[in-house]
Amino acid sequence: MKIRRFNRKDLGDIVEIEERAFPKSPYSPFTFLHYALAFPKNFLVCEHEGKIVGYIIFHSDGHIISIAVHPEWRRKGIGTALMNEVFKRTGGKAMVEVRESNKIAINFYKKLGFVFKTRVPLYYGDEDALIMVREQDLEEF
């Protein structure tokens, strides 16, 4: 597996992952192209044998915009590898919003050293977001 910067030919795979990961409110292809222009160094993909199996988009300060792994590739270390790329660039600091009901994601972030900071009521329109932060440089996972 290889982590590299997003390029336009990855768009189809990214949209497929997005629609499977976030069926209630997936980003559009246009949104991904916007992020590719806005954050060209911080839109990374994980590629395996020519197929994109995960992605992450983040601000330089470690604010995670979006991360997703193809359902068939989950629990294989891809999400952790993508997050570790963020940690390398931010001195281990990061912040993420996560749906309160998304217990799998919450546990994933806790495993990586994130802690609950605050709640944003109705952030997702129909559900609160938990703001989780990782404020220290921990050993890589």
pLDDT tens per residue across span 75-121: 999 999 999 999 999 999 999 999 999 999 999 999 999 999 999 99
Cα 92 to Cα 28: distance, rounded to the nearest angstrom: 30
pLDDT tens per residue across span 27-77: 999 999 999 999 999 999 999 999 999 999 999 999 999 999 999 999 999
Sheet of strand 115-120, all strands in order from the earlier edge strand to the far edge: 94-99, 129-134, 115-120
55 inside domain? yes
58 inside domain? yes
For residue 124, give the CATH number of its domain.
3.40.630.30
Cα 118 to Cα 28: distance, rounded to the nearest angstrom: 28
Place of tokens 């009901």: 101
140 inside domain? no
Cα 22 to Cα 58: distance, rounded to the nearest angstrom: 17
User: Contact 78/67 with Cβ under 8 angstroms?
Assistant: no
Domain that holds residue 56: 2-134
141 inside domain? no
Q: What's the predicted TM-score (pTM) here?
A: 0.91
139 inside domain? no
Q: Which two tokens stand for residue 141?
A: 């996972």
Per-residue pLDDT band for 141 (boundaries 50, 70, 90) equals very low
